[in-house]
Chains A and B, each alone.
Chain A
Amino acid sequence: MAKMTMVQALNHALHQQMRKDDSVVVLGEDVGVDGGVFRVTDGLIDEFGKERVIDTPLAESAIVGTSIGMAIYGLKPVGEIQFSGFSYLAFHQLESHAARMRWRSQGGYHVPMVLRMPYAGGVRALEHHSESREAYYAHTPGLKMVIPSGPRTARALLVSAIQDPDPVIFFEPKSVYRAFREEVPEEEESMPLGQAQVVREGGDITLIAYGAMLRPTLEAAQRLEDEDGVQAEVIDLLTISPLDTDTFAESVRKTGRAVVVHEAPRSFGPGAEVVSRLVEKSFWYLEAPIQRVTGFDIIIPMFAYEQVYLPGVERILRGARETLNA
């Protein structure tokens, strides 16, 4: 076991998977010599060479479209989009081809590719560097959409994503990249995609979060215990699509109250889907309206106001207390 940041844990997963399977290749802008702008691919080019760790020309569409071809040919491309805000230049390749190739060829071809990208706010960046648009991908049939919350889940989920036979969009919360360390086992560890985790048990209310929002949500849960004597159960979704309904539906059948937390805009966001499923599966157990604590339906402001925009511990607490007092 070593204590790693999320960047180190992801880097570790890439090293290990590339050693194990020579069909894994990494491609993207500045992923080779520079080691990626966040250094997630640091050192890969030294060990595996530039045929496998490919510094591409500046073209997102080409990164994704080429990955699709590689994947059909039997490689396992792990593409990097420098920031999720630039993934739209490749959106048509994801929606029109990556997501559909298995279906279009009736199982003849499939696209085992991973597309990694940092997403979300909190690092005082320029425009297009702070958005959370996981809903676009989660809304696309044929894609999987994964978002780890810490070093250990990041490593384990990336391993599963690389081994998965279908295209996986892998969002990395950039404010978590170097925020803290966790024990990450040396030997390969994976986690099934499509499975949420109960990270804190409690019987009074269910708080559902993912990505960078997990930590403030856990902090809010602790404060609910300390200040209100309330036991909150916290669920880390980890995979946004396919969404693990059972874990949160079951939890809410126990607690009767729920708050969904995300940074993404509220309307048509992942929270809306979680709430719908709760209404479908746990309606008769609900004791209060479900709250959404989310980003507003506006473009995330430039960084001077970013912290006001982002949901934090206080806003989560308020949502939880409203639910508890309803």
Chain B
Amino acid sequence: MPREKIDLPHHVEYLSILDKDGNVDQDLEPDIPDDQLRKLHRYMLLGRRFDERMLRLQRQGRIGTFAPIKGQEASQIGPVAALREDDWMVPAFREAGAMIWRGQSMEGILLLYGGFNQAGEMPEGINNLPVAVPVGTQVLHAVGLGYGMKYRGDDRVAMTFFGDGATSEGDFHEGLNFAGVFQTPVVFVCQNNHWAISIPRSHQTRSETLAQKALAYGMPGIQVDGNDILATYVAATEAVERARSGGGPTLIECVTYRRSVHTTADDPTRYRTDEEVAEWEERDPITRFQKYLKDKGLLSDQELEELEEEIDTEIRDAVEKTEKRMEELAGEAMVMFEHMYAELPPYLREQRDELARELAAKEGSNG
């Protein structure tokens, strides 16, 4: 009748490969092809610049509220880089970088934050679910997708993103529990950016780490330096491979920081200090990766300058195109009746006609 420590089948690890100054741990350094390294860098930089541009557009009233990703580029690009195109990605609402990597256009994202229904349309052949605003709720959808993959015998994986705050919602726990019980091929990626609006990570849960919550559901959990793209990529690659080969789900906690506002409606000076933000600026995911690439001879100052220009042009084109599209779509309010059901029921057709008559009358009286 002993009283002893119980050995659990899983334990929680911490992983960091590239430190904040860009020094690499050579034992842990993954073997990633040069092109892939360049691509990771390009998408992180694009994510950053696009985010900055959206913030300016929002401040100028050209788009509505959105959730900036600044500082979290490695936490989202590393994980999705481990996916195959035919895998699925289930985002929350702060994954613009991951969405772009996965083939969604900047135009689509701008249109969403510009307030247009039409933005919901997913480009052909892309297995991403749309943005999910209710915190944590999307986690379960990934589990269901994973169940479908397993049921059909497809060697695919579903990856879902959520924040530190989301781990307090019931749906998060129910999702992990289902995935554990059914051994679905799911990778749960928590972007622990230290804040859920004004609530610090320490007030969200008494747990030392978020990764350890995996243990309660019988799956491996790993905490990684979320500002280290090598670490996020390695952890996700392992998790994706495990899931794909029938090894079940994994929880990855990416420790990062939300350097910007929660959304453009938020004023973080009410609840956090400038010093804290400055501290995390020094742990920037992009600067350290650039140093790594330069050390490897994969990036020169001139190449970087050219890349910045290229990205700038791409973003400018996307903004111009979207603003034109928004002008064209502005008069298309009748689309609000589209996609409610496979077929519009008669009473809704009546309501649609009612609105059409109203708009036509208005047009007439203005004309």
Contacts and interface: CB of A to CB of B under 8 A. Distances in A.
B115 A303 contact: yes
A297 B351 contact: yes
A124 B64 contact: yes
Contact of A305 (B134, B165, B204, B335): B335
Interface residues of A, number: 41
B293 interface: no
B196 interface: yes
Given A85-B134, A306-B115, A308-B333, 17 more contacts: A29-B196, A29-B197, A30-B197, A57-B165, A61-B170, A125-B64, A128-B134, A296-B348, A296-B352, A297-B347, A297-B351, A298-B348, A302-B115, A302-B119, A303-B64, A304-B114, A314-B362
A315 interface: yes
A62 B205 CA distance: 13
Contacts of A88: 134
B203 A55 contact: yes
A86 B165 CA distance: 14
A302 B330 CA distance: 12
Interface of A: 29-30, 32-35, 37, 55, 57-62, 85-86, 88-89, 124-129, 266-267, 296-299, 301-306, 308-309, 314-315, 318
Size bracket, chain B contacts: 35 or more
B348 A34 contact: no
Nearest 8 pairs of A and B residues by beta carbon: A34-B198, A303-B115, A57-B168, A58-B165, A301-B336, A304-B115, A308-B333, A305-B333
Contacts of B165: 57-58
Contact of B169 (A55, A89, A267, A315): A89
A126 B330 CA distance: 17
Contact of B168 (A34, A59, A126, A129): A59
Interface in B104-121: 112, 114-117, 119
Given A35-B270, A296-B351, A89 B134 contact: yes
B205 A57 contact: yes
B137 A89 contact: yes
Contacts of B64: 124-126, 303
A304 B330 contact: yes
Contacts of A33: 198, 270-271
A89 B333 CA distance: 30
Contacts, number: 122
A305 B355 CA distance: 12
A32 B199 CA distance: 9
Interface in B322-367: 326, 329-330, 332-333, 335-337, 340, 347-348, 351-352, 355, 358-359, 362
Contacts of A32: 198
Instruction: From A37, A58, A297, name the one whose CB has the most chain B CB atoms within 10 angstroms.
Output: A58
A266 B362 CA distance: 22
B117 A305 contact: yes
Contacts of B171: 89
Instruction: From B115, B116, B326, name the one whose CB has the most chain A CB atoms within 10 angstroms.
Output: B115
Nearest to A128: B133
A126 B65 CA distance: 7
A125 B329 CA distance: 18
Nearest to B267: A34
A297 B134 contact: no
A128 B130 CA distance: 14
B349 to A, nearest CB: 11
A267 B350 CA distance: 13
A304 B329 contact: yes
B199 A57 contact: yes
Contacts of A305: 115-117, 332-333, 335-336
Contacts of B117: 301-302, 304-305
Instruction: From A37, A59, A88, name the one whose CB has the most chain B CB atoms within 10 angstroms.
Output: A59
Interface in B190-240: 196-199, 203-205
A128 B133 CA distance: 7
A86 B197 CA distance: 15
A204 B137 CA distance: 50
B166 interface: yes
A58 B196 contact: yes
A68 to B, nearest CB: 16
Contacts of B8: none
5 contacts: A55-B203, A58-B196, A60-B169, A267-B347, A303-B64
Nearest to B170: A61
Nearest to B265: A37
Contacts of A298: 336-337, 340, 348, 351
B204 A58 contact: yes
Contacts of A299: 340
